[in-house]
Structure 1
Amino acid sequence: MDKPKQMVVMRRDLKMRKGKIAAQAGHACVTAVLAALEKERRMGQVRAEVGGILLTPGGGAATPLSEWFARGVAKVCVYVDSEEDLLAIDRKAKAAGLLSALICDNGLTEFHGQPTYTCLALEPALPEQVDPITGDLPLF
């Protein structure tokens, strides 16, 4: 099995501060991983240890999520330049059967009080699953 990765798609057109980018990307990554754990009914198999979080082995075949935990937590951050492009990636992911954590900031610290879609993260998946969706996007 190829090494799974988690794709993070940021909106570059918003010109967010670095701290805001980090916060939004972190929110998306955590949300996507928690949703993937729930989808596989593996929330009870998460264990915190010094140096990281582990997913205890469960019965059944390995999945991209379990391989992602076992072989390393690879994340790749790419960007789009509009809300329309971000929403299109979200639709493509869902059409392909992948979980997509689309983050809408409530606008309290940036964006003039307007709720704003800032980024999304996909569940950890194999390159052949995510590359058709995000493979043409530039690295952030």
Structure 2
Amino acid sequence: MNNTGITIVTVSIVSFLSGVYISQWFKCSPAASKGRVRYTSPKFASSEEETEDETEDEEDIDINSLALNEVPGEVRMTLIVRQDLKMGKGKAAAQCSHATLSLYKKITNPNSQAYNPEMVSRWEYGNGQAKITLQVPNQEEMDMLFAKAMSLGINSSIIHDAGRTQIAAGSATVLGLGPAPKRVLDEVTGALKLY
């Protein structure tokens, strides 16, 4: 084996062992035991928005979306950002990430009423986990969209900010919908503009 091969094997082993050690550390940490792991490294971040790793409260009602499996066509996730809060792009991106993860965790959890592995499979493998980001003018309209989505059996989650940076604590920032068939999502979001 030449020096390049030895180097690759050494780096691989060190990476693997580091990953095992870090995962064990997170399992034992107080933050992990509460279901929240926060890692912030201001040394490498370029702005406050990038160091923010807040876990927001989520407004969740688990919806059984199994009936939507009968609707053919493209499956996507929709993220709806409130415009009246005037969040910076980094803040909005972080909030959308929280919404995406919240939706995914619900629909893949076998203990949740929202569990729907067929819909997840269609979303993951059918069209590359499509996510569309839209805008809504205010919380009142966001709440109406949330109610309509629930009435149609769409997996939904509203993200509430923790209030550590730009937004007041408890503010509803993003409404996440799906994964669900595009045709059904359009009944809720068809009139909204892209973010």
Q: TM-score range by the shorter chain?
A: 0.7 to 0.9
Matched, 1:66 2:121: yes
Matched-pair identity in %:
32
- Aligned equivalent of 2:99, options 17, 28, 32: 28
Matched, 1:117 2:192: no
Structure whose residues are more often strand by fraction: 1
Deviation of 1:7 after TM superposition, in Å, equals 0.6
Where relative contact order (Cα < 8 A, 6+ residues apart) is larger, the structure is: 1
Q: 1:100 to 1:69 in 2, by over 3 A?
A: same
User: Structure 1 residue runs of 4+, over 4 Å off?
Assistant: none
Number of residue pairs matched by the alignment: 119
Match of 2:155 in 1: 99
Contact 2:155 2:180 in 1 (8 A): no
Match of 1:12 in 2: 83
TM-score, normalization by structure 2: 0.58
CA RMSD of aligned residues (A): 1.4
Which of structures 1 and 2 has the bigger CA Rg?
A: 2
TM-score, normalization by structure 1: 0.79
Deviation of 1:40 after TM superposition, in Å, equals 2.4
- Cα distance per residue 1:77-106 (max 9 Å; x no partner): 111010101111111111111111100102
Q: Which runs of 5+ in 1 are unaligned?
A: 43-62
Match of 1:3 in 2: 74
Q: Which runs of 5+ in 2 are unaligned?
A: 1-71
Deviation of 1:41 after TM superposition, in Å, equals 6.4
